[in-house]
Amino acid sequence: MAVACRKPLQNRQVGSLLLLWCVCVGDTATIRYSVAEEMESGSFVANVAKDLGLEVGKLASRGARLVSEGNKLHFRLHRKTGDLFVKEKLDREALCGKADPCVLHFEIILAEPLQSFRAEVRVFDINDNAPVFLNKEPLLKIPESTPLGSRFPLQSAQDLDVGLNGLQNYTLSANAYFHLHTRFRSHGPKYAELVLDKPLDREEQSEVNLTITAVDGGSPPKSGTANIRVVVLDVNDHVPQFSRLVYRAQVPENSANGSFVAAVTATDLDEGTNKQITYSLAQNPEAILQTFQIDSQTGEVRLRGLLDFETTETYDIDIQATDGGGLSAHSKVLVEVVDVNDNPPEVTISSVSSPLPEDSPLQTVVALFTIRDRDIRIGGKITCFLREDSPFVVKHTFRNSYSLVTDRSLDREDVAGYNITLVAMDTGPPNLSTETVIEVLISDINDNPPVFQEDSYILTVRENNSPAVFIGKVHAEDLDLGENAQVTYSLLPPQSGDLSVFAYISINSDNGKLYALRTMDYEAIQDFQFVVKATDGGFLSLSSQVTVRVVVLDDNDNRPMILYPLQNGTLPCNDLVPRAAEAGYLVTKVVAVDGDSGQNSWLSYHLLKATDLGLFSVQRQNGEIRTLRKISERDPMMQKLIILVQDHGQPALSTTTSLNILLVDGFSEPYLQFQDPSKHSRKVNPITKYLVISLAVLSFLFLFTVTTIFIIHLYQKIKHRQKFTIQEHFYDDCNFPNNLVQGGGSGSLAQPCTYDMCSVTGTGNSEFRFLKRFMPNFPFPHATGEAKTEDGSSLPPESNTNRPQGSEAHACVSDAYM
């Protein structure tokens, strides 16, 4: 124990006072201090931080505070310095009454982590109360025949101080008849008795006045006085006699007012009025007079007030019996208060940690509290438990201190808070209990990732949509709270690294709405998919992903495209039908396709116009053109058909084509070039003429370039390989050297070949009729002078030089292709 002394303090009643304070931290983990009562508010007590071994400033950072076991806190703590001060002037008598020692208990609560330190301050008594007689002028009636040595008890003086400062002694003023004898009670203050030293003589002195002084042991001592008036009575030679010197009684503390306590009896041998006895509670402290009463005639002692075992366990009652002549006798009634279990346990909550994080580990301290039962001997053992099943348990820490700790893991998503009913029950009988509700809220942590409502999403968008059109929405729920539940959406790049999806789709990061950034074309892309990521707003964010597939719906935005007959802007296509054809003869078939899909691509064929509507028909489903009847000699040779091809979209789109059908007796070549006679006189379109001229110029430039490259390449070969002849650079049957013309190796032909492009003269429209392979004829050293046909047969040499003559002769132009 460490003891330190301070200078004396001035007091209006005391010259000086030595203030003693001490600090003791023992095995019980209780810090003890001592102060003197009547210390002014703000008086220094001790430095708590130093006694707890904490650094200066730790009390403030950990939110230190004081919690009293009672309803009132008598001290205050300076958090920054750790000094403990008196909050208001202390009055030991008001705080503890006659109890000694007077100890004030409180707790020091620290947070982060939650800790509790028990402390107590003992309040030392100072001599600030003087002894006081309740009856300032007591009256004694003493017969003149009273024998010497008779004793007469006097009223006790009351002193609120305790110990040495309490009542210590009585003194009596100088007189010839009495001296004073001080006696002790088993429970209660000292009292004095007058002892008769000289016989009384009423005729000589009928009244004696005395002054009694009560003195305490303070320094300096204080005193109180009373004036005793002694009246000398005429002779009454018998005094009342009690049946017992001491009466004993036991009374339960919960007895009601008026309950019977005890009965005293006294007798007097005198006759007449001197025999009539009256009982009274004379010379008793005020507390006894307020608690008990006696029937003056029967001597029955009954309760006048309530008993409380926790306040007073025993009472020492003086009973006086007085006869009619004024003689009196005294006896005692010792009342023992029997304790009953009439006080339920008292629960005092010191601190509660709320809200509590849901990831708190097991055995985390949630609350600190103390339990006190005022019933000491009965029901003093306390059982503490929780009413409901919860993830918390009560843990006993020290004497009557308990803590509420976590016993299982917490999950705010399951239970957001608890109203914990704490039950404190004594052992009775009967069992009394107190219920206290502790509210603990659970704070959220980010332990739940966002969860999408669906495993995958399929959205549709119709082609030809407007840019930035809304096509759908994804949504994810997060079971957490606040920022931990705020979900942000984003698009993830594909694993393949193709970022083209970002050119099609945009997502609102706040609400997950998806927008098409560009106009969709079903013919270009039918569907695509991407991954959406949902991320919460927690400190350590959690996320989840979902696949979204976007299906493009077809719109009827493509007209049917006719593959046959060809629509090349030149003459319409001609088909030949023998005049001998029967009904149902298949003339040709119109072939068309539609870039749309589904119903939009279903095509139907219709005969829109015809030279003779009754001669030909078009199959609606497949476009086949057949004869409806047998062809007659009177039918015109030239039949023109206009075919309508229509899809089934809404609205329907269509395309028309024209077809010329020639009715002939056979399939000879002149019929192949038959034209509409009305067009023979049509002038050549200037645009066509310009195109022909441009084609000729380009062809010339191409031939010139190829020839130049060939000559340069041939010259380089001759220079580097002079030992070889020029014939070694050529091969039979189009096997030219691969490096004759450098094409980068990317051409579609594996070997260089030449072709002869011929046109039939006399047709008038210069259409190419066929392409035939042109055989270059370079002499080889081993050549025999014979030429061979394509099938390997030999031709005479002159056959290579002679060209066909006549109207069907061909004009041939040679060209080389890689």
Q: 735: pLDDT confidence band, cut at 50, 70 and 90?
A: very low
Looking at residue 697, its pLDDT comes to 87
C-alpha angle with apex 515: 510 to 517, nearest 5 degrees?
125
pLDDT per residue over 342-380, tens digit each? 888 999 998 999 999 999 999 999 999 999 888 767 766
Given the DSSP bridges, would you call strands 246-252 and 328-338 parallel, antiparallel or unpaired?
A: parallel
Q: Is the predicted pLDDT of residue 749 greater than 50, yes or no?
A: no
CA distances from 464 to 92, 226, 469, 518, 596 (A): 95, 118, 11, 9, 13
Mean pLDDT of 663-670: 65
Looking at residue 62, its pLDDT comes to 86
CA distances from 281 to 288, 306, 319, 331 (A): 9, 18, 5, 10
Mean pLDDT of 84-95: 85
pLDDT per residue over 296-339, tens digit each? 999 999 999 999 888 888 999 999 999 888 888 999 999 999 98
C-alpha angle with apex 444: 443 to 450, nearest 5 degrees?
165
Tell me what percent of the residues of the chain surpass a pLDDT of 90.
37
Residues 6+ apart with CB under 8 A from 279: 264, 266, 294, 295, 296, 297, 298, 299, 319, 320, 321
3-state secondary structure 345-373: CEEEEEEECCCEECCCCCCCEEEEEEEEC
Contact 150, 230 (CB under 8 A): no
Q: Is the predicted pLDDT of residue 744 greater than 50, yes or no?
A: no
Q: 171: pLDDT confidence band, cut at 50, 70 and 90?
A: very high
Looking at residue 684, its pLDDT comes to 52
Q: Is the predicted pLDDT of residue 105 greater than 50, yes or no?
A: yes
Mean pLDDT of 744-748: 34
CA atoms within 13 A on the CB side of 810: 16
Instruction: Report the sign of the C-alpha dihedral through residues 31, 34, 40, 43, in that order.
Output: negative
Mean pLDDT of 67-87: 83
Closest to 172 (Cα-Cα) out of 135, 223, 127 = 223
Q: CA dihedral defined by 129, 133, 136, 137, rounded to 10 degrees?
A: -160
CA distances from 370 to 109, 110, 351, 398, 437 (A): 13, 16, 10, 9, 14
Tokens at 663, concatenated: 């009715």
User: What burial letters (b/e) apply to 723-741, b meaning 16+ CB within 10 Å?
Assistant: eeeeeebeeeeeebeeebb
Cα(515)–Cα(517) distance, integer angstroms: 6
Residues 6+ apart with CB under 8 A from 797: 785, 786, 787
Indicate the range of 422-436, 623-637, 689-703, 777-791 predicted with least confidence: 777-791
Tokens at 194, concatenated: 């007058």
User: What burial letters (b/e) apply to 674-699, b meaning 16+ CB within 10 Å?
Assistant: ebeeeeeeeeeeeeeeeeeeeeeeee
Q: Is the predicted pLDDT of residue 455 greater than 50, yes or no?
A: yes
pLDDT per residue over 47-60, tens digit each? 888 888 888 788 88
Mean pLDDT of 490-500: 81
Residues 6+ apart with CB under 8 A from 26: none
Q: Is the predicted pLDDT of residue 796 greater than 80, yes or no?
A: no
Contact 623, 645 (CB under 8 A): yes
Looking at residue 116, its pLDDT comes to 86
Q: What is the DSSP letter of 310?
A: T
Looking at residue 535, its pLDDT comes to 96
Instruction: Give the type of residue at 114.
Output: L
Given the DSSP bridges, would you call strands 356-357 and 433-443 parallel, antiparallel or unpaired?
A: parallel
CA atoms within 13 A on the CB side of 516: 24
Phi, psi (deg, nearest 5) at residue 507: -130, 140
Mean pLDDT of 78-97: 85
Cα(755)–Cα(812) distance, integer angstroms: 10
Task: Give 208-212's long-range contacts (Cβ < 8 A, gap of 24+).
Answer: 208/175, 208/177, 208/178, 208/232, 210/172, 210/173, 210/175, 210/178, 211/172, 211/173, 212/133, 212/154, 212/170, 212/171, 212/172, 212/173, 212/180
Q: 769: pLDDT confidence band, cut at 50, 70 and 90?
A: very low
Mean pLDDT of 414-437: 90
Mean pLDDT of 644-662: 90
pLDDT per residue over 536-573, tens digit each? 999 899 999 999 999 999 888 888 988 888 876 555 56
Looking at residue 188, its pLDDT comes to 67
Contact 532, 615 (CB under 8 A): no
Looking at residue 736, its pLDDT comes to 32
Cα(379)–Cα(376) distance, integer angstroms: 7
Q: What is the DSSP letter of 464?
A: T
Q: What's the mean per-residue pLDDT of the chain?
A: 79
- Give Cα 477 to chain centroid, integer Å: 13
Q: 262: pLDDT confidence band, cut at 50, 70 and 90?
A: very high
pLDDT higher at 749 or 478: 478
pLDDT higher at 144 or 743: 144
Looking at residue 748, its pLDDT comes to 33
The per-type count for the chain, helices as H runs and strands as E runs, is: 5, 58
Looking at residue 424, its pLDDT comes to 92
Question: Torsion-angle region of residue 792: left (phi > 0), alpha (psi -120 to 50) or beta?
Answer: left
Phi, psi (deg, nearest 5) at residue 695: -60, -40
CA distances from 251 to 24, 373, 376 (A): 41, 21, 17
Looking at residue 782, its pLDDT comes to 36
Mean pLDDT of 613-639: 91
Indicate the range of 96-100, 167-171, 674-678 predicted with least confidence: 674-678
Instruction: Report the sign of the C-alpha dihedral through residues 571, 575, 580, 582, in that order.
Output: negative
Q: Is the predicted pLDDT of residue 682 greater than 90, yes or no?
A: no
Q: 182: pLDDT confidence band, cut at 50, 70 and 90?
A: confident
pLDDT per residue over 367-414, tens digit each? 999 998 887 677 668 889 999 899 999 999 888 899 999 999 999 999
Instruction: Report the sign of the C-alpha dihedral through residues 472, 476, 482, 488, in that order.
Output: negative
Per DSSP, the three-state class of 274 is helix
